[in-house]
């Protein structure tokens, strides 16, 4: 019987993936990418989003970060 994935571990893995994507695609350094992801987490909480919804959390995060960076 397969084990169910731990939601916290999935969250951390997706978070690390977004940081990695920001570093590789936008050429941000890791520290700056972390700051953008943290800013998204604050924004998503302000919007009342549930972080357990996976791509429905991180895909809008990518778009929000891109919009904020464009200013």
Closest CA to 15 of 47, 68, 39, 46: 39
Q: How many domains does the chain have?
A: 1
Q: What value does the mean pLDDT take over residues 41-60?
A: 90
For residue 52, the enclosing domain spans: 24-70
Helix (H) or strand (E) holding 65: helix 55-70
The whole-number pLDDT of residue 47 equals 93
Closest CA to 55 of 27, 28, 21: 21
Radius of gyration of the chain (CA): 13
**CA quadruple 24, 29, 30, 34: dihedral, nearest 10:** -100
Q: For residue 66, tell me if it sits in a domain.
A: yes
Q: For residue 57, tell me if it sits in a domain.
A: yes
Q: What value does the mean pLDDT take over residues 32-39?
A: 98
Measured distance CA(30)–CA(4) in Å, rounded? 30
The whole-number pLDDT of residue 1 equals 58
């Amino acid at each position: 019987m397969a084990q169910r994935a731990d939601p916290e571990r999935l969250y951390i893995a997706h978070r690390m993936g977004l940081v990695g994507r920001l570093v590789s695609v936008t050429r941000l350094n890791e520290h700056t990418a972390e700051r953008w992801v943290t800013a998204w987490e604050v924004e998503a909480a302000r919007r009342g989003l549930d972080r357990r919804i996976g791509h429905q959390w991180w895909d809008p995060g990518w778009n929000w970060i891109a919009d904020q960076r464009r200013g």
